[in-house]
Structure 1
Amino acid sequence: MKTISVRVSEELEADLEKLTEKEGLDRRTAVRKLLAVGLENRRRERLLERLVNGEITLTTAAERTELSVWEFTAFVEGNDQTWISSSHTEADIEAL
């Protein structure tokens, strides 16, 4: 396992201390968990951006986040984003 050193503000350190006390974690475990959650959230946000920009499909985004399509759809809606383009909608209507 690698070691990462980082400087943080006093406010951030105080928040970390509150979290460790509340959750009964040691500082190292808390930082690892927070880093993992933060990286996963950023990954989801980036995939959402790519979906909205039409670079990837909903299914691909869901697969890459290891969420079901329904779970990723809820994530998209929770972020108040639209991923269906009018060209896709028109093509679907024509196909009917």
Structure 2
Amino acid sequence: MLTSKQRAILRKEANTLIPVFQIGKGEIDDALVKATNDCLAARELIKLKVLENSEYSTKEAAALLAEKTNSDSVQVIGGKFVLYKQKDKESKYADM
């Protein structure tokens, strides 16, 4: 669980990120969860976009993916959301 101060730092860092995945008509399946996990392992902080034709709202998609990837939802704004999962070793955000 992130504190409000940690969340603010991560929101600042995520401001310039480009969404790495788009969630559309299809469900949030195992392939998307695996790809998201791999991306989180490499980057720690990622931004995702939920398209208008998705069956999920942005909040629902963020909560579902955060739960399935054991990550934290940092921010949900408009059609985009940010996930964070700290690396085990040499985290960029370890001093938060």
TM over 0.5: no
TM-score by length of 1: 0.32
Structure richer in helix, relative to its length? 1
Q: Which has the higher strand share?
A: 2
Whose Rg is larger? Answer: 1
**TM-score of the superposed pair, with normalisation by structure 2:** 0.32
